[in-house]
Structure 1
Amino acid sequence: MTKRILIVEDEMLVAMELECILEDLGHDCAGIAPDVETATEHFEAPLDLALVDLNLRDGLTGPQIAETLSQRGVPVIFITANPRQLGDGVAGTIGVITKPTDESTVKAALDYVFRSRAGEAADPPPALRLFG
């Protein structure tokens, strides 16, 4: 089933690679947001998941965006080269994947999230560090 996934990433080549991965997996990219201002344009949209980097064009705003999306019921996975900055995580978010990443890692994380949310038994993939 096709899911709508928001990419919150300021490095355009990374964002475009993630977009291609999502499309190859049969999902729709709901948009690419490089900063808080752009991300807020998607807060009211129907989203099935958000992939969020920490450090964006306007600074360390990924956690703020992720928390807002989580409060709106959107599952969030961080994708960052700096996972230690997250410590024990951000309230309401699922976990973190370390960049650089690849299609199989993203697929495994998405499969885990969507199966879990559907009430199916699912084991988290090794590359996804869960919070809480």
Structure 2
Amino acid sequence: MKIMIVEDEALLALELELEVESAGHVVVGTAASRKAAFDIIETSVPEFAFVDVHLSDGPTGIDIGRRLAEREIPFVFVTGNVKRIPDDFVGALGAIEKPYTMNGLQNALTYIAATVAGLEAAAPSGLILCERAPAS
């Protein structure tokens, strides 16, 4: 899977990148701001994204989430303050709360990869899923 990482803390972005790559995925770009993330969305077309809510240019992760949802690119928020995420999760599959463990992140990544591939999978602990209304 081609994955975009949106995180303004360099060490966290690097750790996440290493975990994503060790799970066999490709990081198509890392962004610390809304503009950088929008550029990656347009040029690299990720298949999935991890998005922090509060970035170097403020709480712009929500805007990035909306752009991803418009493009039908699945994503999860990765944040230290889940309360900053709107109730509808702006289209996110869910959220991973910081601080997270590497094992928890790997389990979430396995679940996410299966979900994006259209497979059934049990949600791991540590991944807060968005409550979606049932289809009518």
Q: TM-score, normalised by structure 1?
A: 0.91
Question: How far apart are residue 103 of structure 1 and its match?
Answer: 2.3
Identity over the aligned pairs, expressed in percent?
37
User: Are 2:108 and 2:124, in contact at CA under 8 Å, matched by a contact in 1?
Assistant: yes
Q: Quick one: which amino acid aligns to residue 64 of structure 1? A: D
| Residue 72 of structure 1: aligned partner | 71
Amino acid at match of 1:47: P
CA deviation after TM superposition for structure 1 residue 87, in Å:
4.5
How many residues end up aligned between the 2 structures? 130
The residue that corresponds to 1:19 in the other structure is 17
Task: Give structure 2 stretches of 5+ with no counterpart.
Answer: 132-136
Matched, 1:8 2:6: yes
CA contact (8 A) 1:79 1:98 kept: yes
Choose between structure 1 and 2: higher helix proportion.
2
Cα deviation code 1:45-64 (max 9, x no counterpart): 22121000010000000011
Report the Cα offset of residue 16 of structure 1: 0.7
Which string of whole-angstrom CA distances, capped at 9 and with x for unpartnered residues, describes residues 55-86 of structure 1? 00000000110110121011111111111111
Residue of structure 1 in register with 2:27 after alignment: 29
Q: Which residue of 1 aligns with 2:95?
A: 96
Letter in 1 for 2:67: T
Matched residue, 2:36: 38
- 1:49 corresponds to: 48
Residue matched to 1:106: 105
> Matched residue of 2:91: which SS?
coil
Are residues 14 and 89 of structure 1, via their aligned partners in 2, closer, same or farther at CA, if it must alter by over 3 Å?
A: farther
Q: Which runs of 5+ in 1 are unaligned?
A: none
In 1, distance between residues paired with 2:21 and 2:111? 18
Letter in structure 2 aligned against 1:21: E
Structure 2-normalised TM-score?
0.89
